[in-house]
């Protein structure tokens, strides 16, 4: 007998199959027992009739605790009313492993409790939908770059330097020295772009940020493209194309997940090119118009980003930030050296920044000056300066934060549900 999973069940109508999974729910009606079997790809209702199974199997259906692992055999029947459109008329039910009292009940639990039980919480339909969506998003992002001829490269996790400021570094012992967990693969991506032209790094990144907000994780994943001989405008076009692709792909292939998450599709359908592009200085004017007190030269915080992203129903690019609030590697604007050729993409509906990037400083002298101004240790960056000594070329790139992008596309409040095992300032368990 074939072991079939629920995603393949439609090909087996009228046939007898075996399913393997967990008891997600059960109920009875007179002499009939119903088990909702969860097998990973989906759920299916199993109907147990006393005259179709052994007495032992019928008793098991009555008593089996939630989340026990079971093997079900039975006939596949098309039934428009059941979840997934098919049902199983059970001929045999076997216990693989009886579950103890399952701690996650159907009733509402607090977030702290659910986070403590994250290893079990993952089984709930909402979390399954989020993880499936996450997988679809990273696949679509990688495909987007692969199709355009980008080469995937890996950047190290253990690094000798900071990339995004020294205040958010995780320091680890590295034999008789210190190393830091990477904040971004960018600097290594730049080296690889000089070797391969167009590359992307997809990997985990770490920030010891003391921020307890709905947008901050201490461990998160980025996709970071880097392109030799590209400048800021075409880099913005690339980011716009990527976001449109991710949203299109979600709408096309993740309808079930969006439904499970009760996501408003109309909001996503508005995400079409072109996205508005405004400069930091225009943002300052916009904030003033909205009556939000803000001084030119300050960094945009979550509150300001929320106001800006609520002013548009599409993602919006903000460019040309004051150089002093951006990282050391940003190229200055030739027309106004106070400004960096930086770009951030703010997601709509109040989600805020999901992409950060821009054009890189390609002059050795300028870069040396920036490293000194930022008070960075130059020795561990000598290799990076070599990229400007040996055939320096204009180049640009950006980093897309997977978790923030998923939070927006899924329409969920907090990034902690966008990654299987979130790491937050106050959470390292499980
Ligand atoms: O804007 P950031 O700091 O840019 C960089 O790291 C560049 N080196 C990327 C590059 O140009 N290759 O971070 C990029 C993105 C942010 O826009 C955000 O989506 C995400 O990474 N991000 C975080 N996501 C979750 N938790 C955090 N603490 C995050 N910090 C940044
Ligand atoms: Mg940023």
What pLDDT is stored for residue 108 in this prediction? Answer: 84
**Residue to mutate (ligand 1; options 153, 167, 184; most atoms within 8 A of CB):** 184
Q: Chunked in runs of 10, what are the mean pLDDT values of the chain (430 residues)?
A: 94 97 96 97 97 97 97 96 92 98 88 97 97 98 98 98 90 96 98 98 96 94 98 98 98 97 98 98 95 94 89 95 97 97 96 97 98 95 98 98 98 97 96
What pLDDT is stored for residue 313 in this prediction? Answer: 87
What pLDDT is stored for residue 310 in this prediction? Answer: 86
Two tokens at 189? 């991506």
What pLDDT is stored for residue 393 in this prediction? Answer: 98
Residues 6 or more apart whose Cβ sits within 8 Å of residue 273: 240, 241, 244
Angle at 357 between CA 356 and CA 363, to 5 degrees: 155
Residue nearest (by alpha carbon) to ligand 1 atom 27: 216
What pLDDT is stored for residue 166 in this prediction? Answer: 87
Å from CA of 287 to ligand 2 middle: 19
Å from CA of 183 to ligand 1 middle: 8
Residue nearest (by alpha carbon) to ligand 1 atom 2: 356
What domains are defined for the chain? 2-97 (2.40.50.140), 118-417 (3.30.930.10)
What pLDDT is stored for residue 84 in this prediction? Answer: 85
Å from CA of 53 to ligand 2 middle: 60
Q: Is 99 exposed, middle or buried (0-12, 13-18, 19+ CB in 10 A)?
A: middle
What pLDDT is stored for residue 302 in this prediction? Answer: 86
What pLDDT is stored for residue 211 in this prediction? Answer: 87
């Amino acid at each position: 007998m074939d072991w079939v999973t629920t995603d393949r069940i439609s090909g087996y109508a009228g046939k007898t199959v075996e399913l393997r999974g967990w008891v997600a729910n059960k109920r009875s009606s007179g002499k009939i027992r119903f088990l909702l079997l969860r097998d990973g790809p989906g759920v299916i209702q199993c109907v147990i009739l006393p005259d179709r199974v052994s007495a032992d199997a019928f008793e098991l259906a009555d008593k089996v605790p939630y989340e026990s692992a079971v093997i079900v055999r039975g006939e596949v029947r098309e039934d428009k009313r059941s979840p997934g459109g098919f049902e199983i008329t059970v001929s045999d039910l076997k216990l693989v492993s009886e579950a103890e009292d399952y701690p996650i009940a159907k009733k509402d639990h607090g977030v702290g409790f659910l986070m403590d039980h994250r290893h079990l919480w993952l089984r709930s339909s909402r979390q399954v939908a989020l993880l499936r969506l996450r997988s679809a998003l990273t696949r679509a992002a990688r495909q987007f770059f692969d199709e355009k001829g980008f080469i995937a490269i890996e950047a190290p996790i253990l690094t000798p330097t900071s990339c995004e400021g020294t205040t958010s570094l995780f320091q680890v012992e590295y034999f008789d020295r210190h190393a830091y967990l990477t904040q971004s693969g960018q600097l290594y991506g730049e080296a690889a772009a000089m070797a391969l032209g167009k590359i992307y790094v997809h990997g985990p990144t770490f920030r010891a940020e003391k921020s307890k907000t709905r947008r901050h994780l201490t461990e998160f994943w980025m996709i970071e493209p880097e392109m030799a001989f590209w400048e800021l405008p075409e880099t913005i076009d690339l980011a716009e194309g990527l976001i449109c692709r991710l949203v299109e792909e979600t709408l096309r292939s993740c309808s079930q997940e969006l439904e499970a998450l009760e996501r408003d599709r109309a909001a996503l359908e508005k995400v079409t090119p072109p996205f508005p592009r405004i400069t930091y200085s225009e943002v300052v004017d916009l904030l003033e118009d909205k009556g939000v007190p803000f001084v030119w030269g300050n960094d945009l915080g979550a509150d300001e980003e929320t106001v800006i992203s609520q002013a548009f129903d599409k993602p919006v690019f903000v460019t040309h930030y004051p150089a002093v609030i951006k990282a050391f590697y940003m190229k200055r604007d030739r027309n106004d050296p106070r400004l960096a050729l930086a770009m951030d993409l703010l997601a709509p509906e109040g989600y805020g920044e999901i992409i950060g990037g821009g054009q890189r400083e390609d002059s050795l002298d300028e870069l040396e000056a920036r490293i000194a101004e930022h008070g960075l240790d130059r020795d561990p960056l000598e290799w990076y300066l070599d990229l400007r000594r040996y055939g320096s070329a204009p180049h640009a790139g950006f980093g897309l934060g997977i978790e923030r992008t998923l939070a927006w596309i899924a329409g969920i409040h907090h990034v902690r549900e966008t990654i299987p095992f979130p790491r937050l300032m106050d959470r390292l368990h499980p």
